[in-house]
Structure 1
Amino acid sequence: MEQWSGYLGLILQGAVVTVQLTVMGCALALVMAFLAGLGRLSRFRWARWLATCYVEFFRGTSIFVQLFWAYFVLPLMGFDLSPLQAGVLALGLNVGAYAAEAVRGGVLSVPREQREACVALNLTRFQSLRHVILPQALLFMLPVFNNNAIELLKGTAVVSLISLADMTFQAQVVRAQTGNTAIPFLTILVLYFLMATVITVAIRGLERRLARGLDGVRG
Structure 2
Amino acid sequence: MVESLSLILRGLQTTVSLTIFSLTLALVVSFLAGLGRLSKNSAVRAAAIAYIEFFRGTSLFVQLFWAFYVLPFMGVELSPMQAAVLALGFNYGAYGAEVVRASINAIGRDQWEGCVALNLNYFQRLRHVIIPQAIVIMLPPFGNLAVTLLKSTAIASLIALPDLTYQAQLVRNQTGQTLLPFAIIMIIYFAISTFLKSGIQLAERRLGADRTQPARSA
How does the TM-score come out when normalised to structure 1? 0.97
Structure-2 residue corresponding to 1:88 = 85
- Partner Cα distance (1:217, 1:62) in 2: 46
5+ residue gaps in structure 2? none
Answer yes or no: is 1:28 the counterpart of 2:25. yes
Answer yes or no: is 1:39 the counterpart of 2:63. no
Cα gap change, 1:51 to 1:217, in 2 (>3 Å): farther
Q: For 1:22-44, what per-residue CA distance to the aligned partner results, in whole angstroms no more than 9, with x for missing partners?
A: 00000000000001111110000
Answer yes or no: is 1:116 the counterpart of 2:113. yes
State the AA in 1 paired with 2:55: F
Cα gap change, 1:137 to 1:218, in 2 (>3 Å): farther
5+ residue gaps in structure 1? none
Answer yes or no: is 1:74 the counterpart of 2:71. yes
> How many Å apart are 1:216 and its aligned residue?
2.4
Q: For 1:81-120, what per-residue CA distance to the aligned partner results, in whole angstroms no more than 9, with x for missing partners?
A: 1100000000000001011110000000001110110011
Structure-2 residue corresponding to 1:56 = 53
Q: Which of 145, 148, 155 is 2:145 aligned to?
A: 148
Structure-1 residue corresponding to 2:171 = 174
State the AA in 2 paired with 1:165: P
Q: For 1:43-63, what per-residue CA distance to the aligned partner results, in whole angstroms no more than 9, with x for missing partners?
A: 000111010011100000001
> How many Å apart are 1:217 and its aligned residue?
4.1
- Post-superposition, which runs of at least 4 consecutive aligned residues in structure 1 deviate over 4 A? none
- Partner Cα distance (1:182, 1:5) in 2: 16
Structure-2 residue corresponding to 1:200 = 197
> How many Å apart are 1:202 and its aligned residue?
1.0
Across the aligned residues of Structure 1 and Structure 2, the Cα RMSD in angstroms comes to 0.8
Write out aligned runs for 1:182-193 (5 A): 182-193=179-190
Q: For 1:65-88, what per-residue CA distance to the aligned partner results, in whole angstroms no more than 9, with x for missing partners?
A: 000010011111111111000000
> How many Å apart are 1:218 and its aligned residue?
4.6
Aligned residues: 216
